Amino acid sequence: MHPMPLLRAGALAPALLRHTRLRQPRLRARALALVFALGLLGGCASTPDRAQIPQFRQGAATANQQTAQAFSDINTFLRQQQIERAVGQPTLNEGEFLTVLGDEDTAKWSRAFAVIDAYAASLEKLLDPQRRDDVQQELVKLGETIGALDDRQLPAGVAGGFATLGGLLLQIKVEKDAMQAIRTADPGIQATFSTMMTAIGADPNSGVRSVVRNTWQTMLGRISVDFLRATGKDAKRTVVQQYVATMDQRDAQDASLAALRRSLGLLAAAHAELAAGRNDGAQGLIDLVQREYVAYRAQVEAIRKQRASTQNGQQGGTP
């Protein structure tokens, strides 16, 4: 796997717009304004100050939380759908209940983010004169730890990117130069986030997004069978309402995974900005990670309200 190149000033604008994929005119205008501002900053390079690495670390923590909650929400909504359908069946069997993302999957993603957090923590120490003495040994040890990880400990397809990062950390020879450490590690960070983005899926038919979508499609197939068995317009209308609500939840949850993928891309771009010495550019990208998370939580709440409204409507129309 070839490491991704650093994002330079000229490449940052399309990268930012690609990762955000903002379609609303107002939000897109804001993104363009941010891109313009970053372009003005492109010629200004400086050593990251102590406030910058903690911000990157917080951005990674936010993406980790977004991942865990997205997986939990997907399982919760699917399980609620399965329970509702099972209530109307003549018999109960285990095959009706599918778990799309297990605890082991969540643990693997959490472990991946823990590695990124350990790397960011070491950089934070490099920027603190009172704590930087043993950072080189710390980074080398982290590189060795990463080298021992494989698909049994990490999400499927992600180990290659982490292996690139681990190998670069083993090569770092620094005592007090945080910028050099960041520049050396950046190709590995880019490879790591790139493989994580691939694991989530570039579209609904790949990665985790494909697994989730296929599970929802199974639910839709079962509801289609219910429709064929229903007699009378009222009974069929109830099944149709459930089918449409299930499609909406499927699409909303795919959108939440797409937002997570954008957050990972923004973190990669933020690290590239740090490696190039553009602190303000990195901060702007990390701010967008926080906004992605806020938008995700608002979307989850909207799904809950829609679901409650659909359930109330079905109960009110039941003879």
pLDDT tens sequence across 136-192: 788 889 999 999 999 899 998 999 999 999 999 988 876 567 788 889 999 999 999
pLDDT band at 14 (very low <50, low <70, confident <90, very high): very low
- Determine the Cα angle at 307 with ends 305 and 308, to 5°: 65
> Cβ contacts of residue 263 below 8 Å, gap of 6+?
62, 63, 66, 289, 292, 293
CA 146, CA 24: separation in Å to the nearest integer? 40
Residue 207 zone, left/alpha/beta (φ > 0; ψ -120 to 50; rest): left
pTM: predicted TM-score of the whole model, two decimal places = 0.75
CA 46, CA 59: separation in Å to the nearest integer? 21
Tokens of 4: 């991704």
Tokens of 284: 């702007």
Q: pLDDT at residue 89 above 50?
A: yes
Secondary structure letter of residue 95 according to DSSP: G
Which amino acid is located at 99 in the chain? T
Average pLDDT over residues 84-96: 76
pLDDT band at 311 (very low <50, low <70, confident <90, very high): low
Q: For residues 105 and 152, is the Cβ–Cβ distance under 8 A?
A: no
Average pLDDT over residues 39-63: 67
In sign, the C-alpha dihedral spanning 191, 10, 291, 126 is positive
Q: pLDDT at residue 209 above 90?
A: yes
3-class DSSP state of 269? helix
